[in-house]
Structure 1
């Protein structure tokens, strides 16, 4: 337990943090219940003195601490952090044992997402849009479900019926689950990590959608595998690559600003006429080189894909591209 006396000069700021959490929780929890969602983002560095991201997963809480400049020595900073977590536990009415803390750098590559940080395997099943997903709050940098793509996933389900779907950089396969739930004819999920492909299969099983005759999981470096895709094959493609990746398991390194035109054009070759690509990335200053993309239509749908818990805070981009 932290020693509040150390923070007497900051007591007003801690009270402000507590008030902010309580106010936002009351508002967002109502919306989440109405939408049948049991996991959502509560707080995203709203106050500069508290550079944290807080997400609820059922009755568990994920807290991401962003490394930032501060004028505290190590002991004082640890006290600040512990007192902040006390406030979070108090407002959310959970035990400190139900808080899972991760420290993030301001710039992460996909490799750090793959690295295992722990082995305690704190897993639970959450619900979103009538579907179930396994999340792990202890062992990796991310939980296994990117909450900011909730609306985009719904869009994919709405247009997946009888389509051949390709999910590139599929991670734990949440888009694949939505596509299969929407009645896709086939879903092909590709990722560099065997761990995440197995997780994607688990998510399919959770929803009664696992069917090896219709849906396949390919362990491959996507950048290399694009050249092996059959021409004019897929009706619907999800392309959500990392901003930057220099994983030792990849033959080439990826820089999404530099490489997105080549990446998208290769995917377009594998897409049928009038097929749709949902392309997204998290590079804040990303600029789409539309003139050099060989598509019939490109629409920026970022604004339409912002969930209720990310209003005014979403940094990613999302485009709907038609061949």
Structure 2
């Protein structure tokens, strides 16, 4: 339910922002976004329109990612200057120690949220405005070394700039999705009577955008899986290879004890087996592959 609310709220905010951006560009700079003129497509205008739409959504989602995570997931930020419990202090100290080792100049915010799922994630628009959050389920299910390995993995994501990299890639993919969907819709609308072309074009844009978004997600997810291997290696460098491997093994054991449908992680994506075509839509690699590659590295 929280993921649905997050999706709806994010898209409402993105659409509102895009409306403001288009209004400013049209009224202040006099940019015309009507890419169809006299029965032909103005490709330059369409490309500008597509880039604005594609990158606005991606960049806006990145900009509010830390705030959204804290708001929707109910993350309680642990203030290092406040009176923390011994366990909370240990989490903060571990993240800060790993962050300094990773060369981060500003320490990430550290937070905990109540959930039985074994989960941890890193988010934020920049390295200096990042957040590392862990679930109470993870802290209760994994031992201290495994928790440190998981935290090192998340800090490595921040140090590698993965949030920004994935956002830029998503922006490029979004641009091509919007661009190609409207070209395909324009072509499809040419096969009907002129009085129906507007309706057909509108419906076809939606249909092709969904189709191309699914195809584009294959590229994004493949690159995401590639970055996970890098984060594993980064986590091994920060916390030690043995702790990182131990963390992955602990996650694998956890998967074997519970229903994987309920154990799927938002970030670590506990996944013990490749499951046909659905694997290509997964943002995280198979755990066995992650352990094997880390051992070979």
TM range (shorter): under 0.3
Q: Which has the larger radius of gyration?
A: 2
Query: Structure 1-normalised TM-score?
Result: 0.25
From the two aligned structures, give the one with the greater helix fraction.
2
Query: Structure 2-normalised TM-score?
Result: 0.27
From the two aligned structures, give the one with the greater strand fraction.
1
